[in-house]
Amino acid sequence: MSRAKVVLAVLIPAVVVLAVGGRTWLTGVTHDAVLGTATVTADGNQAAPGAVALALIVAAAVIAALVVGVRLRPAVLVVGSLAAAGALALSVRAVLRGGDVLGPLAAAAVGRTGSLAVSATPTGWAYAAVAATALLLVGAVGAVVAARRWPAPTRRYEREGDTTGRGARGEVVHSDWQALSEGHDPTDVPPAPRT
């Protein structure tokens, strides 16, 4: 897989996870003496706290892998793959164990600690998040495999040797930073002679 395909395979699902993070993932009903029958909802950030952050870590890891050296790439991409697996686990937990997610939220709504019994139903946004995090994991693992064939980063813009440049006639040209380091103020211009 080329670098462009890997970036798209990771960034598109990461953007989807980010977009659905604020949507309602779970709705549930609780029967409580204080609340009575009440509806409780949770958005993606409440249902799977950290899933959006983990998706952003995956995207950052893949982008970093494009610019780091060949030896460091596998480590960066393995971290990204672990983050993708974590995001998938959080999303799947929200879908499969929605009552466990909504229970503490319902208890907090009435000022209690612990959890209340809630019958939860996942929405389509939760399933979209599970699909996006699964694709994110596939893209991250694909990046680990494909990165072995990527070329090394170029050194085209790196400077070697001394920090001075050469002018058109071969004269040594110092940068303003170097002049400041040597104790000279490059903005100090002598006054013009009087005529």
Residues 149-171: pLDDT tens digits? 887 776 665 555 554 555 556 55
Q: What is the per-residue pLDDT across 125-148, written as a single tens digit (0 to 9) for each?
A: 999 999 999 999 999 999 999 888
Q: What is the per-residue pLDDT across 170-193, written as a single tens digit (0 to 9) for each?
A: 556 567 777 777 777 777 777 778
3-state secondary structure of 41: strand
3-state secondary structure of 166: strand
**What is the domain partition of the chain in residue ranges?**
3-149
Give the H/E segment covering residue 20: helix 3-20
Q: What CATH fold (topology level) applies to the domain 3-149? A: Butyryl-CoA Dehydrogenase, subunit A; domain 3 (1.20.140)
What is the pLDDT, as a whole number, of residue 81?
A: 95
Residue 119 has pLDDT above 90, yes or no: no
Q: What is the pTM of this model?
A: 0.73
Among 58-67, 77-86, 105-114, 150-159, the minimum mean pLDDT is found in 150-159
The CA-atom distances, in angstroms, between 1 and each of 9, 66, 131, 143, 147 are 10, 13, 21, 8, 8
